[in-house]
Amino acid sequence: MSARAAPSRRRQAGRRLRYLPTGSFPFLLLLLLLCIQLGGGQKKKENLLAEKVEQLMEWSSRRSIFRMNGDKFRKFVKAPPRNYSMIVMFTALQPQRQCSVCRQANEEYQILANSWRYSSAFCNKLFFGMVDYDEGTDVFQQLNMNSAPTFMHFPSKGRPKRADTFDLQRIGFAAEQLAKWVADRTDVHIRVFRPPNYSGTIALALLVSLVGGLLYLRRNNLEFIYNKTGWAMVSLCIVFAMTSGQMWNHIRGPPYAHKNPHNGQVSYIHGSSQAQFVAESHIILVLNAAITMGMVLLNEAATSKGDVGKRRIICLVGLGLVVFFFSFLLSIFRSKYHGYPYSFFN
């Protein structure tokens, strides 16, 4: 019974095979080739991504920040595939550029990258790179960038958005501020570790030793401690330092001044109301001191009971100090509203 059924099944399969449409074989063949091609393309894409990540990890093992020219930037930052984020600093560190801000920003960037490299959370999802203007001019032109330093985040998917450019003018370039920005853009939290700096401790120890030595030498005559004029001078010095922006300089670390590389002109006053130079704070300190001196002279001329002619001279000198230096100070404040672009290149 089973021997008779076998030929019957073969005849039925042959009939079904004869009734298949003749055009379905090319379609099946095309579908098979397409699946093979897609599988091979996906495999090639995965191999390329693995090679890129391996190369980046090798560079990171040697340096926390790797320098890139145009070719490396296009290959590792712009070209797909990419499953990692890149933080890139665009700068101009060559001496002929005379970009002191770039050097200071680079130091903070190094601190941030080193903190990530030696962190226990270090992985292949975030890398730090740098493009110098003299090594990657084509990159600056490609991005229509004419200022430095600039920090940009290139996400693993999609193009950079407006928030992916760090607002250096408003926030400053301290490593802690950069770390907050990186965490906001990549969800990677970096704890900043700064190298130990004992200069503040040494300065405080010297100051305490100086004051202690002075008190010891004058231990039999400490009436100067109750001198109101001396304490008033100390208080004024602290007020002048704080109102001139010395604390802001200590936190943000701005350059002393800026020299335009095109015409050689040196700017001591920053044109933006959100920033300042160190020289600018010194100028403001002197102006505030001069105005205060003028006010003191006016008060002395009004309250003293000396010679009328001498009091008139003191009054004129005090009035001159107040009017001249206050007008100078007012002109500086007005100029702060024009803005100052950090432009170094054409």
Predicted pLDDT at 340: 37
- What whole-number distance in Å separates Cα of residue 286 and Cα of residue 292? 10
Mean pLDDT, the chain, rounded, equals: 80
Q: Is 346 a residue whose pLDDT tops 80?
A: no
Over residues 101-105, the mean pLDDT reads 87
The fraction of the chain above a pLDDT of 90, given in percent, is 18
Q: 2-11, 21-30, 324-333: which has the highest mean pLDDT?
A: 324-333
Query: What is the three-class DSSP state of 127?
Result: strand
Predicted pLDDT at 2: 46
Strands 258-259 and 266-267 turn out to be antiparallel
pLDDT digits 0-9 by tens, 260-278: 666 667 878 877 776 788 8
More confident residue, 59 or 25: 59
Q: Is 237 a residue whose pLDDT tops 80?
A: yes
User: ∠ CA 6-10-12 to the nearest 5 degrees?
Assistant: 115
Q: Is 27 a residue whose pLDDT tops 70?
A: no
- Least confident among 92-96, 152-156, 160-164, 271-275: 271-275
Predicted pLDDT at 183: 92
Residues paired with 128 in a beta bridge = 65, 87
Tell me, rounded to whole angstroms, the distance of Cα 208 from its chain centroid: 36
The residues, any chain, with a CB within 8 Å of residue 292's CB and separated by 6 or more, are 236, 240
Name the token pair of 11: 């005849």
Q: Is 210 a residue whose pLDDT tops 50?
A: yes
Q: Is 344 a residue whose pLDDT tops 50?
A: no
pLDDT digits 0-9 by tens, 114-136: 999 988 888 889 999 999 998 88
Over residues 66-76, the mean pLDDT reads 90
More confident residue, 300 or 199: 300
Q: Is 342 a residue whose pLDDT tops 60?
A: no
The fraction of the chain above a pLDDT of 70, given in percent, is 82
> With bands split at pLDDT 50, 70 and 90, how would you rate the model's confidence at 332?
confident
In three-state form (DSSP H/G/I as H, E/B as E, the rest C), the secondary structure along 18-37 is: HCCCCCHHHHHHHHHHHHHH
Rg (CA), the chain: 35
Q: Is 101 a residue whose pLDDT tops 90?
A: no
Over residues 96-100, the mean pLDDT reads 81
pLDDT digits 0-9 by tens, 43-55: 777 888 888 889 8
Over residues 237-247, the mean pLDDT reads 84
Distances (CA, A) of 149 to 39, 130, 183, 254: 43, 10, 20, 13
pLDDT digits 0-9 by tens, 84-96: 999 999 999 988 8
Closest CA to 87 of 61, 49, 60: 60
Name the token pair of 12: 């039925």
Helix then strand then coil, in percent of the chain rounded to 5, is 60, 10, 30
- What whole-number distance in Å separates Cα of residue 149 and Cα of residue 157? 25
Closest CA to 147 of 197, 102, 108: 102
